[in-house]
């Protein structure tokens, strides 16, 4: 992935070509599907959606919208033990939040269970499916390997009537789990292992979140998926590359049943550096408490990113930017962050918040006086207007903005040095108060120059440093969460030397600052707005207060990619 996007023109009118858009164009020209474009996004409700899914969502809903087509949201819910209503609901919320609308096209594979059962019966009647009574271990052992053909099950040649009888009784609940399965009768020596008599149905005595206890046999994903696409009249069944081998099986099923045949098109799944995009892995992070939940702001889930302060636009723009290709690659997280900053820069309200406060007393400012200074809300968007900022004798500045023995190029506060307080005045540090015992700096005494009102001087005197600050008496106390990558390695899923992805969790991925001082306008902060704390990054209000009932602000992202810089230096 290159970081140079300057060559990509991004307009709403003509989206840049990609190989799938080209296929659709060709199909429209040749009239292959009667000019119809029907896509679908088919999640399994066994976890929350992540940014990889967003790529698929943008692609499927995008292709439909560009071509006056339709896009279904279909839950592939064939595995009752791993699925739940919570996941079904979160997935709908996330797709909607991303800005896509499936209208009345919400489907569940479980709604097709009866039809799927009938399809299975048809295969049995055709002599193309049989009930196998081998145990799971034997089925696996009989499958063979890439270099060795499999072995036929002794039950493979059961007569049709016996298969029908057993399958009917499987449905009726007469057998225990694992006693029998229904398998397709294809070829135990097939070079594609997926076609060595794949399982079509298994017994699962589990309640399903939609069908309850109606069923105790459940169709396998592969059998369900291709038939669901067919039943829904999907034209372009877009999926990720790992399903390339499954296509042959889908073709077999659809051809044997002589039903409508969608066209499957595979594309490369999204991989991102410094994170994992697999529900199987993400669920471990949640269940083992490595994160606070699916919506932990460090998670690459849509809900985590939403809570972190990502916008749907950022995610959609990112998905357009990375494009779709046939070959797998890993996208640099920095590209996602670049897209995020670009978006937030336009939206964010500029405010001031001091994360590690140091008290400043302005000795020559009258005690008890409060001045209302004016500050613009955004240089990028004048329509956001201005706000009042109270200034008074006691302020907070950032602890890092003071250094007692400062080098010459430290353009911040130090005894004798003058700086600008943003929107306010020039101040000069005159003395330092320290804790007797620890020698820690606890307070600065400064003087201000009344002639520099608004932060400007008429006499041409220049200061190099501009600091953010808040008035102590007016400050809003808040908790701030700073985030870093969830993993320390670019590719945590690359499991080497006996280490797994969880061995690469970053112990410093979250820093909690519990006593931050924010400007008073943030008393009315809204969870749907975006804030730039000057010099500190982009922040958003969390939906939950801290344990001591202070508002919590999540840092969405720093202003510049300091992390990459620091990392380069370390090397």
The pair of three-digit structure tokens given for residue 480, joined into one six-digit string: 């701030």
The pair of three-digit structure tokens given for residue 53, joined into one six-digit string: 């899914």
Q: Which is nearer to ligand ATP, 23 or 441 (CB)?
A: 23
CB of 39 to ligand ATP, least distance (A): 10
Contact segment (CB under 6 A) with ligand ATP among 51-59, 120-128, 456-464, 557-565 equals 51-59
3-state secondary structure of 13: coil
Q: Does 126 bind ligand ATP (CB under 6 A)?
A: no
Query: What is the C-alpha end-to-end distance of the chain, expressed in Å?
Result: 22
User: Residue 476: in which H helix or E strand, if any?
Assistant: strand 476-483
The pair of three-digit structure tokens given for residue 362, joined into one six-digit string: 């302005």
Q: Which of 71, 77, 78, 75 is nearest to 57 (CA)?
A: 71
Q: Which of 27, 44, 222, 296 binds ligand ATP (CB under 6 A)?
A: 44
| Residues 75, 351: Cα–Cα separation, whole Å | 43
Residue 363 exposed, middle or buried by CB count within 10 Å (0-12, 13-18, 19+): exposed
CA angle, residues 152, 154, 158, in degrees to nearest 5: 105
CB of 54 to ligand ATP, least distance (A): 8
Q: Which of 59, 539, 95, 541 is nearest to 303 (CA)?
A: 95
Q: Which is nearer to ligand ATP, 95 or 482 (CB)?
A: 95
Residues, the chain, total? Answer: 571
Q: Does 80 bind ligand ATP (CB under 6 A)?
A: no
The pair of three-digit structure tokens given for residue 248, joined into one six-digit string: 């042959």
Tell whether the torsion through CA atoms of 346, 90, 276 and 263 is positive or negative.
Answer: negative
Q: Which of 231, 215, 281 is nearest to 80 (CA)?
A: 215
- Give one word for 442, left, alpha or beta, with left for phi > 0 and alpha for psi -120 to 50: alpha
Question: At how many degrees (to 10) do helices 51-66 and 19-30 cross?
Answer: 30
Q: Which of 37, 38, 56, 423 binds ligand ATP (CB under 6 A)?
A: 56
Residues 222-261 that bind ligand ATP (CB under 6 A): 239-240
Contact segment (CB under 6 A) with ligand ATP among 50-58, 93-101, 162-170, 391-399 equals 50-58
CB of 278 to ligand ATP, least distance (A): 4
Q: Which of 46, 99, 156 is nearest to 319 (CA)?
A: 99
CB of 75 to ligand ATP, least distance (A): 9
| Residues 74, 69: Cα–Cα separation, whole Å | 16
Q: Does 422 bind ligand ATP (CB under 6 A)?
A: no
Q: Which is nearer to ligand ATP, 181 or 277 (CB)?
A: 277
Question: At how many degrees (to 10) do helices 312-322 and 51-66 cross?
Answer: 80
Q: Which is nearer to ligand ATP, 280 or 434 (CB)?
A: 280
Contact segment (CB under 6 A) with ligand ATP among 42-50, 112-120, 299-307, 505-513 equals 42-50
Q: Which is nearer to ligand ATP, 264 or 452 (CB)?
A: 264
Q: Which is nearer to ligand ATP, 95 or 424 (CB)?
A: 95
- 8 Å CB contact between 333 and 564: no
Q: Which of 400, 426, 412, 422 is nearest to 468 (CA)?
A: 422
CB of 501 to ligand ATP, least distance (A): 13
CB of 271 to ligand ATP, least distance (A): 7
Q: Does 316 bind ligand ATP (CB under 6 A)?
A: no
Q: Which is nearer to ligand ATP, 181 or 324 (CB)?
A: 324
Q: Which is nearer to ligand ATP, 270 or 395 (CB)?
A: 270
CB of 295 to ligand ATP, least distance (A): 16
Q: Which of 24, 33, 38, 52 binds ligand ATP (CB under 6 A)?
A: 52
Residue with structure tokens 């471990």?
284
Q: Which is nearer to ligand ATP, 56 or 303 (CB)?
A: 56
CB of 59 to ligand ATP, least distance (A): 8
Q: How far is CA 421 from CA 246, 395, 406, 413, 539, in A?
A: 64, 10, 19, 11, 21
| Residues 244, 544: Cα–Cα separation, whole Å | 44
- Per-residue binding letters, 390-419, with ligand ATP (x by CB under 6 A): ------------------------------
- 8 Å CB contact between 373 and 400: no
Q: Does 92 bind ligand ATP (CB under 6 A)?
A: no
Counting runs of H as helices and runs of E as strands, what totals does the chain give? Answer: 13, 27
Residue 42 exposed, middle or buried by CB count within 10 Å (0-12, 13-18, 19+): buried
Q: Which is nearer to ligand ATP, 240 or 377 (CB)?
A: 240
- Per-residue binding letters, 258-297, with ligand ATP (x by CB under 6 A): -----------xx------xxxx-----------------
CB of 137 to ligand ATP, least distance (A): 25
Return the residue nearest ligand ATP (CB atom): 52
Q: How many residues bind ligand ATP (CB under 6 A)?
A: 15
CB of 240 to ligand ATP, least distance (A): 4
- Give one word for 31, left, alpha or beta, with left for phi > 0 and alpha for psi -120 to 50: left
Catalytic residue ranges: 44, 269, 279
- The site for ligand ATP (CB under 6 A) is made up of 42-44, 52-53, 55-56, 239-240, 269-270, 277-280
């Amino acid at each position: 992935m290159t970081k140079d996007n300057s060559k990509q023109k991004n307009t709403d009118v003509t989206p840049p070509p990609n190989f799938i858009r080209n296929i659709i164009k060709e199909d429209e020209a040749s009239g292959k599907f009667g000019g119809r474009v029907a896509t679908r996004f088919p999640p399994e409700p066994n976890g929350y959606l992540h940014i990889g899914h967003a790529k698929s969502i943008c692609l499927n809903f995008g292709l439909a919208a560009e071509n006056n087509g339709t896009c279904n949201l279909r839950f592939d819910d064939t595995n009752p033990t791993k699925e739940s209503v919570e996941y079904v609901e979160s997935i709908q919320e996330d797709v909607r939040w991303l800005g896509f609308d499936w209208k009345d096209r919400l489907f569940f594979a479980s709604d097709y269970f009866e039809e799927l059962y009938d399809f299975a019966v048809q295969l049995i009647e055709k002599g193309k499916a049989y009930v196998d009574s081998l145990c799971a271990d034997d089925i696996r052992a009989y499958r063979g390997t890439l270099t060795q053909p499999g072995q036929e099950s002794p039950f493979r040649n059961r007569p049709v009537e016996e298969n029908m009888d057993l399958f009917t009784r499987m449905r009726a609940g007469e057998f225990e789990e694992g006693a029998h399965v229904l398998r397709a009768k294809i070829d135990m020596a097939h070079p594609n292992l997926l076609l060595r008599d794949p399982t079509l149905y298994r017994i699962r005595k589990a309640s399903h979140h939609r069908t309850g206890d109606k069923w105790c046999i459940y169709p396998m994903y592969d059998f369900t998926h291709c038939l669901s696409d067919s039943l829904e009249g999907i034209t372009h069944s877009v999926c990720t590359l790992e399903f390339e081998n499954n296509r042959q099986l889908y073709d077999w099923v659809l051809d044997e049943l002589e039903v409508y045949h969608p066209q499957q098109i595979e594309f490369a799944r999204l991989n991102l550096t410094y994170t994992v995009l697999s529900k199987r892995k993400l669920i471990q992070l949640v269940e083992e408490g490595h994160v606070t939940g699916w919506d932990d702001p460090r998670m690459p889930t849509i809900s985590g990113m939403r809570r972190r302060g990502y916008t749907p636009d950022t995610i959609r723009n990112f998905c357009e930017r990375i494009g779709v290709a046939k070959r797998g690659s890993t996208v640099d997280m920095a590209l996602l962050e670049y897209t995020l900053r670009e978006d937030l820069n336009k939206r964010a309200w500029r405010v001031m918040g001091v994360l590690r406060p140091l008290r400043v007393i302005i000795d020559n400012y009258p005690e008890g006086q409060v001045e209302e200074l004016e500050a613009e809300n955004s240089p990028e968007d004048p329509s956001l207007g201005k706000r009042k900022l109270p200034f008074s004798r006691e302020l907070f500045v950032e602890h890092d903005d003071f250094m007692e023995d400062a080098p010459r190029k430290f353009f911040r506060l130090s005894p004798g040095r003058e700086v600008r307080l943003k929107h306010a005045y020039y101040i000069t540090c005159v003395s330092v108060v320290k804790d007797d015992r620890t020698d820690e700096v606890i307070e600065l005494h400064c003087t201000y120059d009344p002639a520099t009102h608004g932060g400007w001087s008429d006499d041409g005197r220049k200061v190099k440093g501009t600091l953010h600050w808040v008035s102590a008496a007016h400050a809003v106390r808040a908790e701030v969460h700073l985030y870093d990558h969830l993993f320390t390695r670019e590719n945590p899923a690359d499991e080497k030397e006996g280490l797994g992805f969880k061995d690469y969790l970053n112990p410093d991925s979250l820093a909690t600052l519990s006593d931050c001082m924010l400007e008073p306008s943030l008393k009315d902060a809204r969870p749907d707005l975006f804030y730039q704390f000057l010099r500190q990054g982009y922040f958003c209000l969390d939906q939950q207060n801290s344990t001591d009932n202070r508002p919590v602000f999540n840092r969405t992202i720093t202003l510049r990619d300091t992390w990459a810089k620091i990392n380069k230096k370390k090397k």
